[in-house]
């Protein structure tokens, strides 16, 4: 399935391609520093391209997919399941069907409307019985009752997401490669 071009993702990947430091940080597995570098250098421009929540959502999705691939963490993204589009499933739908304890659903709502976010959470809870295995990526901090990562220029907790996903996959035995020793 070929994904249509998106100016935010194009800008993000162009920045990554031109960067001299990102390849070094990938080799050193310093994913938090990669996120911090990209956020510092791309965030303001990306916000100028689209409404904030949409821009942050597209930015987070593209960046997370890139980092999961480089961290060798098995995942599926934009998966249709049970009538819902799931943003990111770690490691994947087959594991979710077999053992929800070993599956992480990462929701990137592209909204800061708490009603919309709670509706998404409610739908995900029907799919993922392990409520603590539903994580959110948001543009600002808000009370959701879920583990949340904030992607913003100032309060950027998103930089820890790869470390925490790797920790989850190592603890739950879903990371076949055990690349990130935590």
* Span 33-86, pLDDT tens digits: 999 999 999 999 999 999 999 999 999 999 999 999 999 999 999 999 988 999
Q: Where are the chain's structural domains?
A: 7-171
For residue 94, what are its two tokens? 């087959």
Residue 147 has pLDDT above 50, yes or no: yes
Enter the pTM of the model. Answer: 0.90
Distances (CA, A) of 106 to 5, 51, 138, 145, 177: 22, 21, 11, 14, 21
CA distance 178 to 182: 9
Find out whether 104 and 165 touch, Cβ atoms under 8 Å.
yes
Question: Could you tell me which residues come within 8 angstroms of residue 139 by beta carbon, excluding any fewer than 6 positions away?
Answer: 52, 53, 56, 57, 112, 150, 151, 152
Band (5; pLDDT cuts 50, 70, 90): confident
Provide the β-strand partners of residue 149: 137
Residue 1 has a pLDDT of 44
Q: pLDDT tens across 152-165, in order? A: 988 889 999 999 99
Residue 128 has a pLDDT of 96
What percentage of the chain has pLDDT greater than the value 70? 92
CATH architecture of 7-171: 3-Layer(aba) Sandwich (3.40)
What percentage of the chain has pLDDT greater than the value 90? 87
Cα–Cα–Cα angle for 14, 111, 104, rounded to 5 degrees: 80
Distances (CA, A) of 112 to 66, 69, 95, 108: 24, 27, 30, 10
Considering 2-6, 136-140, 173-177, the range whose residues carry the highest mean pLDDT is 136-140
For residue 154, what are its two tokens? 């100032």
Q: How far is CA 89 from the centre of its chain?
A: 10
């Amino acid at each position: 399935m070929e994904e249509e071009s998106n100016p935010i993702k194009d800008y993000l990947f162009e920045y990554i391609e031109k960067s001299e430091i990102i390849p070094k940080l990938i080799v050193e597995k310093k994913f938090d520093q990669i996120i911090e570098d990209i956020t510092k250098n791309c965030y303001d421009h990306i916000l100028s391209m689209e409404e904030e929540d949409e821009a942050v959502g597209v930015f987070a999705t593209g960046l997370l997919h890139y980092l999961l691939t480089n961290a060798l963490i098995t995942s599926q993204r934009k998966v249709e399941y049970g009538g819902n589009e799931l943003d990111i499933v770690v490691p994947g739908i087959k594991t979710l069907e077999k053992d929800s304890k070993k599956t992480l659903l990462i929701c990137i709502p592209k909204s800061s409307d708490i009603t919309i976010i709670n509706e998404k959470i409610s739908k995900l809870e029907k799919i993922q019985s392990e409520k603590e295995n539903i994580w959110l990526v948001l543009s600002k901090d808000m009370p959701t009752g879920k583990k949340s990562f904030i992607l913003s220029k100032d309060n950027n907790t998103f930089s820890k997401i790869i470390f925490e996903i790797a920790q989850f996959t190592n603890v739950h035995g879903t990371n076949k490669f055990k690349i990130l020793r935590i």
